[in-house]
Amino acid sequence: MNFPLVNNWTEDSFKELFQQQHMTVVLEDQSSIQADFYFLIDKTFDMKQSMAIGFILSENIFLPYLSIRDNLFVGTSIKEKDKKKRLNDLFTYVSLPASVLNKSEDQLSTFEQIKLQLIQLLLLEKDIIIIDDIFQKLTISQRQELLPLLQKIAKEKQKAILVLTNDIQIAESPYMDKIIKTA
């Protein structure tokens, strides 16, 4: 497999990718996206001490034996008495109805799964969010809702968001602060 990011990797390029309050897109061919996604996972483990990093995938990542609500709090240290308010605030923030919590994981749409993953990463207070090529599974209206939401999260919650995609329309959207072309 080809690793376009690894060919140009330096500590400065890492810092450039993950500037807080920025949305950066890596535009590359489809065959490189998965390889670079795994490369970034490996690379971020080296930097784990200084940055909290989370990932958004297009497939369901929830544990099947836990409720959706319980899945959202896996790995958090939020006290039980604070959980309801935090969830309500975040569901409102990402425009997701709380009724999603009553669904089973196989009833969730891809868009609901993505928003739930965002909520989970916000509950875990991740500094950096790396997003796999999720846009191909979304409708145009879902893309139009998600991109401004991601920008809002980057700016208001002071997160660095890195999007890996081969979709030129996503890369050139006005919501992206920076485009890195590897193809």
pLDDT digits (tens, 9 = 90+) for 135-174: 988 999 999 999 999 999 999 999 999 998 889 999 899 9
Mean pLDDT, the chain, integer: 84
Would you state the pLDDT for residue 37? Answer: 73
- CA dist 48 and 68 (Å) reads 27
| DSSP E strand boundaries for 10-146 | 22-27, 53-56, 128-131
pLDDT 10s digits, 73-103: 998 989 999 999 999 999 999 999 999 999 9
Model pTM?
0.85
Judged against a pLDDT cut of 70, whether residue 65 lies above it is answered with yes
Judged against a pLDDT cut of 70, whether residue 6 lies above it is answered with no
Higher local confidence (pLDDT), 122 or 34: 122
